[in-house]
Amino acid sequence: MDENETSVVSDKKWYVFEIIKAVIISLIFSLVFVLVAAFAIKFFNIPVGVVPIINQVIRSLSILLGCLIALRRPGHGWLRGIISGLLYSAIAFVLFSVMGDGFTWDLSILNNTAVGMAAGLISGIMAMVIRRN
């Protein structure tokens, strides 16, 4: 194996590590934001119809912060962001289903996955632009 091939394998390992790190950071932010949102909804009597919007904002903001903090290596930020958003959506679904009422299979899963991937795409691009400057 020559030096160039070793560099490519090393970069791929770091990309995977950064994606996993971004997902974990995003999940931690989500848990904190959901807790804060639950207190705000309870104390300020926020209508129930606003909760899905709050959930999407929490999801998008968590992915953004996770990508901005974790994605540091240059290149393929958009792809790493999409993968981070997809993994986040899958793990968040399982995590919040276990903590909540159980698993509910409906169209919202597709919506949450699409929002997660779109937020990851934008966040990955932003992370690369910020790192470059």
DSSP 3-state of 81? helix
- pLDDT value of residue 7: 54
Per-residue pLDDT of 70-103, as tens digits, reads 999 888 899 999 999 999 999 999 998 888 777 7
Kindly give the residue spans of alpha helices, DSSP state H, lying in 45-103: 51-70, 77-99
DSSP 3-state of 105? coil
- pLDDT value of residue 116: 95
How is the chain split into domains, by residue range?
A: 3-132
Chain centre distance of CA 41 = 23
User: Which tokens go with 12?
Assistant: 């791929």
For residues 91 and 23, is the Cβ–Cβ distance under 8 A?
A: yes
* Banded model confidence at residue 123, pLDDT cuts 50, 70, 90: very high
**Confidence check: pLDDT of 29 > 70:** yes
Q: What is the pTM of this model?
A: 0.88
